[in-house]
A and B are shown apart, each in its own frame.
Chain A
Amino acid sequence: MLRADNVSFTYGQGPGIRPATLSGISLEIRRGQVVGILGPNGSGKTTLLRMLCGMRRPDHGSVTLEGTSLDRLSRRALARRIAVVPQETQLAFEYTVLEMVLMGRHPHLGLFQLEGPNDFDVARDALAATGTAQLEHRRFSTLSGGEKQRVVIAAALAQAADIMLLDEPTASLDLGYQLEVAALVTSLNQERSVTIVISTHDLNLAASTCHELVMLRQGRVIAAGPTTEVLTPANVRELYDVDADVHVHEPSGHLVVVPVTRVTRPR
């Protein structure tokens, strides 16, 4: 449903850190899938997610949603189809959890329209689905890292989009919260049929939750396909310059990756 065709992008001249560029990327996110985007720091994962949600326009190539170029959709129309969970959410002002989640209704409300009962129902349903219903009246800034991430996902869920893009959703979380977020991603996909794209560094998260993987290195796709086919020692080595064991973990039935040694890439 969401396709990138031969997408290239270079950040223009400007101050600050220059994120990675992308060259010649083609991929297709199919309905109902959980797709993982893997790659080392600076490989272009975040940039690719920005292309896929229309926040940035590719220099070359196109991104299409069910055949319509993202360029031809307004931000509002896009937000009703694609929700984004950024790496970090920092608040400049205090909001309660419910206020945060209701903000997900923005693309469904008219300019001066206030949230109605239906919007509250959607928001409370999103809180329930993410296990954060009891936090409704808490101030967002008083939550733990894992709670914050789940509330941010609830806000994206309240957007009622059928595609959700998550940028390193577990990056700053401890092991327990990482598992929680992984379980949440799986349940959103299975119970609410949300098509999900996750960028992550966590190979085991990818192995346990993603149906398909896209591996990015220096802005190019080096491998893409079903997780069981693509997550191989050779690809992990190509991606991270790390020798790793990859084997099936019998009790859970999915692959696990055990990094062993760093290798030096011949130049």
Chain B
Amino acid sequence: MTSVRRRLTVVVPAFGLLTFAVLLVAPTLGSTPISLRRVFDSSIAWDDNVDAQIFFVARLPRVLAGALVGSTLAAAGVVMQALLRNPLATPFTLGVSAAAALGAMAAIALHLDATFLGAAAIPAACFGGAMVGTTIVYFLATRVSGGLSTNVLLLAGVTLNTFFSALITFVQYLVDPADWYRTARWLLGNLDVSSYTPILASVPLIGIALLLFALLPRTLNLLTLGDDVASGRGVDVATAQRIAFLSASLATGAAISLAGPIGFIGIVVPHLVRLLVGSDHRIVLPAATLFGAAFLVSCDLIARTIMSPIELPVGIVTAMIGGPFFLWLLVRKA
């Protein structure tokens, strides 16, 4: 059996290369063919250089957003599955996503982007919703049991998820048809950011979450064996669970604020990675973080091109792949 160090020196460069290749190729492909020579030809004025505009305004931000969101949701999925000791958990299991979505729905319904804060209104409300949801779930889970009970966490999270989803439906019912269309589009998840500002805004939040994730891998291995085993091996279980829950929630909130609730990344990617590299989180976590980027950018490439010139929201593509995959996992397990 090779050591973790040796496996890391194979796995990380392999997934790194794959992701790098996808990120390099994806912006050059799309419904309109572009010439890379023209894109980087500085002798052509920006206003006349349609190729450069497509590359730098339409495609590159989209690819970068896809990479960031894909990495974040995949890593958050790995952490959530270990924390809840449940391979079927996703970053959205504990209600953070529904709370985030409710925040976005409220911002759309109240036209906050027209009256207040401008384009940042919806992401800001969304992230605020995620943090409120996280606080409620955390409060419930610590209140009932002194420590942080993963059972209560799961029950409270799933219940709040349903409750917030009901509120989302309620908001959608109240708004006028034009706003309803915006809410529905938002809920599908979309990487069409067409500017670098929201990406840059989410980088610090995602950065903090990923740094916290980096503290966790060996501890996550032990948490999956159960609280008693982890504690007996020297893990401060309550602290580890708090860091895992709060960092995964932060990551999820930031990712949803950027691209809406893009489903299934957080479960498909971790499982594909585990099939390839085993269950040691010291390898799974970096591999899933890299592969998440490649996976979501690839899905978005399909979304942009498969029904060209129509662009699908990427959430539809990930759901088409993720739904059957999820069922396959379930059946395989049984």
The complex places the Cα of A90 from the Cα of B236 at a distance, in Å, of 20
User: Given A15-B144, A86-B228, A137-B1, are A92 and B85 also a contact pair (CB < 8 Å)?
Assistant: yes
A86 contact set on B, CB distance < 8 A: 226, 228-229, 232
- A134-157 interface code vs B (CB 8 A; 1 in, 0 out): 001100000000000000000010
Number of A-B contacts (CB under 8 A): 94
Q: Which of A80, A103, A137 contacts B222 (CB 8 A)?
A: A103
Task: Looking at the assembled complex, report how far the CB atom of B79 sits from the nearest CB atom of chain A, in whole angstroms.
Answer: 13
| Shortest distance from the beta carbon of A148 to any chain B beta carbon, whole Å | 12
Are A79 and B234 neighbours in the complex by a CB distance under 8 Å?
yes
Cα–Cα, bound, A247→B289 (Å): 64
Given A93-B87, A114-B4, A120-B3, decide whether A103 and B279 contact each other with a Cβ distance below 8 A.
no
Q: Does A58 contact B (CB under 8 A)?
A: no
Inside 8 A of A169's CB, which chain B residues have their CB?
none
Give the docked Cα–Cα distance between A83 and B229 (Å): 9
Q: Is A78 an interface residue (CB 8 A)?
A: yes
Contact with A along B204-222 (1 / 0, CB 8 A): 0000000000010010011
Q: What separation, in Å, do the CA atoms of A196 and B274 have in the docked complex?
A: 37
Q: Which chain A residues border B4 with CB–CB below 8 Å?
A: 114-115
Contact B282 A114 (CB under 8 A): yes
Nearest B residue (CB) for A137: B1
Q: CA A84 – CA B235 in complex, angstroms?
A: 13
Please report the total number of B residues contacting A with Cβ < 8 Å.
32
Interface status of A47 (Cβ within 8 A of chain B): no
* In the complex, residue of chain A having the shortest beta-carbon distance to the beta carbon of B146: A12
Q: How far is the CB of B282 from chain A (nearest CB, A)?
A: 7
A92 and B280 alpha carbons, distance in the complex (Å): 12
List A contacts of B236 (CB < 8 A).
Answer: 74-76
Closest residue of B by beta carbon distance from A116:
B3
Chain B residues at the A interface, C-beta cutoff of 8 Å: 1, 3-5, 81-82, 85-87, 144-146, 215, 218, 221-222, 224-226, 228-229, 231-236, 274, 278-280, 282
CB within 8 Å of B: which residues of A? Answer: 12, 14-15, 53, 55, 74-80, 82-84, 86, 89-96, 98-99, 103-104, 106-107, 109, 111, 114-115, 120, 136-137, 156, 159
6 pairs from A and B in contact (CB 8 Å cutoff): A75-B236, A76-B234, A94-B274, A95-B278, A96-B278, A114-B3
